[in-house]
Amino acid sequence: MSYSIFRMQGIKTTSDLRGIGKHNAERISHTNFDIEKEKSAENIELVSCDSYLERFKEITAPMKEEHDERMKKTRKDRQKTFEQAINSAKNDVACEFLFASDEAFFKGKSKEEIKAWAEESLAFIEQDIGIKHENIIHAAVHMDEKTPHLHVVAVPLLKAYDGRRKAETWQISRKKFVKTKEDLIELQDTYNQRMNNKGFYMERGVSTGREHIELRRFKAVTAKEQAEQLEKEIQERQEEKEVLSLSVRHMENRLDDLGESLRKIKQVDEIKVEKGGLFSSKTVKLAVSDFEGIKSFRRA
């Protein structure tokens, strides 16, 4: 009998979220060679999404509004934008759930049957974990890889008491939904029981190599996508630094040119004018080096 696989992991920053969106929704990956792009049209969208970041902004709008109001009362040197605040916080900005099984489980199943399995898995997130449907960014079954599997990305947003602020506040907190590893294990039991009750007969996943094939791929792809995103941002910052460095050097050279021009202008002011000569004309006396300097200044 096949195993039921349910895993979850946090997404630390909005930059990571964007990278995962490229993999899950846009199917752009330089590390996952299992993707067969010609089959991507067969992917099943349970919750569609054009942009992970835009959807994230929509979901977290009340939290941002609360943050902006708080910043109005905060010292200017301690103020942060909403994005700066959530990206520097210890909490995740979102979380990703993976549901999968082995090839034998999906063999012979129609697309509608696979969709029914995915919809029941999505219902588990909403009903058993407690994340509201409106806080789900994207849910899709990838049919364009060797084994179908469901990715669900959601924002674990809720209003809860904040002891530091002594008030109910909007918070993003995965641990408010799944507090400990023991809770996660219990949820895995619940998921397996739910699926069996709905006619998707599977054994409870255990720590075997068979169970962890998809999990290893899941973690590897996510980690590599995040690493790629980080490398890209480092490259962008390096390019910005190089442009700034060039601008500084250009300004330094320009200042040197202006200083040299000023010195030559002062030389002109210091030239002595004397009466004399055959016809009592005015004669300018200056050193040859000064004369050459003035000629080069005219050419510049």
pLDDT of residue 99: 95
Q: What DSSP line would sit under 24-68, residue for residue?
A: HTS---SS-TT--GGGGGG-EEEE--S-HHHHHHHHTHHHHHHHH
Element (H, E) at 162: strand 157-162
Q: Which domains does the chain have, with CATH numbers?
A: 3-239 (3.30.930.30), 270-300 (no CATH)
91-111 residue pLDDT tens: 899 999 999 998 899 999 999
131-183 residue pLDDT tens: 999 999 999 999 988 889 999 999 999 999 988 888 899 999 999 999 999 99
Q: What span, in angstroms and rounded, lies between the C-alpha atoms of 91 and 44?
A: 30
Q: Does the structure show a pLDDT above 50 at 279?
A: no
Per-residue HEC secondary structure of 104-141 comes to HHHCCCCHHHHHHHHHHHHHHHHHHHCCCHHHEEEEEE
What sign results for the dihedral spanned by CA atoms 71, 76, 82, 88? Answer: negative
Q: What span, in angstroms and rounded, lies between the C-alpha atoms of 203 and 36?
A: 29
Q: What span, in angstroms and rounded, lies between the C-alpha atoms of 35 and 37?
A: 6
- Nearest by Cα to 210 from 113, 103, 297: 103
228-257 residue pLDDT tens: 555 665 676 676 666 666 667 777 777 777
3-state secondary structure of 300: coil
3-state secondary structure of 237: helix
pLDDT of residue 251: 73
